[in-house]
Structure 1
Amino acid sequence: MSRPDVPPFTAIVLAAQRDGRVDPLAAEAGVANKSLAPIQGAPLVRHVVDALLATPSLTRIRIVVEPQAEAAIAEAMPRGAPVDFVTAADNLADSVHAAAVGVGGPMLITTSDNVLLTPGAVRAVLAQLAGGADVTLAVATRAAVLAAHPEGQRRFYRFADDAYSNCNLYALAGAGALRAAESFRSGGQFAKKPLRMIAALGPVNLALMLLGRLTLRGALRRVSRGFGLRVEPVVLADGSHAIDVDNARTYACADALLARRRQALAA
């Protein structure tokens, strides 16, 4: 069977900082927003945008950020890049909803610190939409993440088939699929805990997950039934996709991996 074509899509990049919070990486770099902290010669957010721009079928990028950081991020963008800015809401789910206003087709959601993002990963989650999924989320197995870097990630979700880490990469088939994020609108972290959807479906499903009785796909089938949407996981072979820049430790990991990629391209 041939691989489905990747549909035209709008990318939503979550770049806002919590109001009143000074991010340690931003403070160390002397910038107002962590997205502007440099890594391997460019701001964090620029690495993400470059990966998106290298992905066929991209139509627009919508960066969600606080207004005071918008000008500095705009200056870091490539000239002529199809980038719009959206004012961040009080929580991540509401920010996603704000960025989705007026978007009729597929949407890709990621974060501005997801510096190891690749066009291949973007295509993988979007291809699932072309295959009939309403919502897709990218994960990597514990073994793949640790193979990429032994210090890259310490949080894994354990299921009956394996342990997985979230890759901060999601795709939605359209505005209707945003219903899958409704359980986060009270302030839950959309980017950090995507499988919180299971808790919204009741204590039995949550208990089965915590007891390791459900596989990842089995858990998401239950999510699918609860929301009336087809939710599919995409297991990425390259575990580096699960390593974003949260702190000094993960910054060092991402920096080393970006340098390794650059050396491989130059070889």
Structure 2
Amino acid sequence: MNLTRPPTRPQWNAVVLGGGDPNDPLAAAHHVHVKTLIPVAGHPMALHVLRALRDSGRVGRITYVGPTTPDMDPLIDVRVTDQGQLLRNLEAGVQALGDTGARVLVSTADIPMLRPEELRDLLDEAPDAALVYPVVRRQDCEAAYPGVQRTFVKVRDGIFTGGNLFLLDPGLVGKFLPRLREVLAARKAPLKLAALIGPSVLLKLLTGRLTVKTLEEKVSAILQVPARALITPHASVGTDIDKEDDLTLAERILRA
């Protein structure tokens, strides 16, 4: 009697957002079309992200949105042309995956320090919600990368920076994407943003009295889908490459 269990099918597909502004000064300084193609430790930074996805053992199909290099292409199942806007790229990438029944990991291509085991840990810990957004505590970022400069937000539960990837149910993208567009459009208009968030929640946020649970509830109400935060200790999730100092850090970490 054969008791060998069949191999587990990956639970996730992935969309990697590798587009960008061709006028980005960091990309121009390194003579590439977009910054995600800048070499780090001898390879485009996007290639490190693709390898982490493949080596995690949790990801099936990968859609890549944006320009690629020949050494990246074997790791990609579907290539999608940069649509020029973040949410358009997200929507096009999810559509290109097709209806496979798997949940979707969406990642930017500028987090080259992400390791397969960190990604595996994050995906295995992810709650079952329509939208999951990983966040990293400040002390975890500073312990992993002393002196790293990130944007942090203080809430009652601690001081956090946002991750550069999130998890979603592809069947609900059409439901929350219009509301997400509305939020992003209001982010530079304080009165509109306050109206969306609500004055009491905004006041708590500004004074550091907001809790993660309250924020989850408010985001769920705004987007009209269940949304959860996922606190992860993996600083690489919240450390993207925006400037030369970030490149120097990534080069040192990856070569070590």
Question: Would the TM-score normalized by the shorter structure come out above 0.5?
Answer: yes
The aligned residue for residue 117 of structure 1 is 114
Return the alpha-carbon distance in structure 1 between the equivalents of residues 19 and 207 of structure 2.
Answer: 35
Q: CA, structure 1 residues 256+74, in 2 after alignment: closer, same or farther (shift >3 Å)?
A: closer
Return the alpha-carbon distance in structure 1 between the equivalents of residues 179 and 139 of structure 2.
Answer: 30
| 1:171-182 paired onto structure 2 within 5 Å | 171-177=167-173, 179-182=175-178
Does structure 1 residue 99 correspond to structure 2 residue 93? Answer: yes
Return the alpha-carbon distance in structure 2 between the equivalents of residues 198 and 55 of structure 1.
Answer: 40
| 1:192-207 paired onto structure 2 within 5 Å | 200-207=196-203
| 1:120-159 paired onto structure 2 within 5 Å | 120-128=117-125, 131-159=127-155
The aligned residue for residue 15 of structure 1 is 18
Indicate conservation of the 8 Å contact 2:179/2:223, yes or no.
Answer: no
Indicate conservation of the 8 Å contact 2:58/2:120, yes or no.
Answer: no
2:206 to 187, 206, 210: 210
Q: Greater shift after overlay, 165-174 or 179-188?
A: 179-188
Indicate conservation of the 8 Å contact 1:198/1:219, yes or no.
Answer: no
Aligned residues: 239
Residue 8 of structure 1 and its aligned partner are, at CA, apart by 2.1
The aligned residue for residue 38 of structure 1 is 39
Residue 105 of structure 1 and its aligned partner are, at CA, apart by 2.9
Return the alpha-carbon distance in structure 1 between the equivalents of residues 229 and 15 of structure 2.
Answer: 19
User: What secondary structure, in the 3-state scheme, does the structure 2 residue paired with 1:158 have?
Assistant: strand
Return the alpha-carbon distance in structure 1 between the equivalents of residues 157 and 241 of structure 2.
Answer: 28
Indicate conservation of the 8 Å contact 2:41/2:254, yes or no.
Answer: yes
Indicate conservation of the 8 Å contact 1:243/1:254, yes or no.
Answer: no
Return the alpha-carbon distance in structure 1 between the equivalents of residues 121 and 223 of structure 2.
Answer: 23
Residue 78 of structure 1 and its aligned partner are, at CA, apart by 5.8
Residue 177 of structure 1 and its aligned partner are, at CA, apart by 4.4
The aligned residue for residue 82 of structure 2 is 88
Return the alpha-carbon distance in structure 2 between the equivalents of residues 198 and 106 of structure 1.
Answer: 32
Does structure 1 residue 77 correspond to structure 2 residue 72? Answer: yes
Identity score, percent: 28
What root-mean-square deviation, in Å, do the aligned CA atoms of Structure 1 and Structure 2 show?
2.6
Residue 198 of structure 1 and its aligned partner are, at CA, apart by 8.9
Return the alpha-carbon distance in structure 2 between the equivalents of residues 201 and 187 of structure 1.
Answer: 9
The aligned residue for residue 160 of structure 2 is 164
Structure 1 runs, 4 residues or longer, greater than 6 Å off = none
The aligned residue for residue 62 of structure 2 is 61
Q: Structure 2: where are the runs of 5+ without partners?
A: 1-7, 186-192
Q: CA, structure 1 residues 78+64, in 2 after alignment: closer, same or farther (shift >3 Å)?
A: closer
Bigger Cα Rg: 2
What TM-score, normalized by structure 1, do the two folds share? 0.79
Once the two structures are superposed, residues 76-119 of structure 1 have per-residue CA deviations (whole angstroms, 9 ceiling, x without a partner) of 2163x343111222321121111111344311111111111222
Does structure 1 residue 249 correspond to structure 2 residue 250? Answer: no
Q: CA, structure 1 residues 138+242, in 2 after alignment: closer, same or farther (shift >3 Å)?
A: same
Q: Structure 1: where are the runs of 5+ without partners?
A: 190-196, 261-267
AA matched with 2:94: A
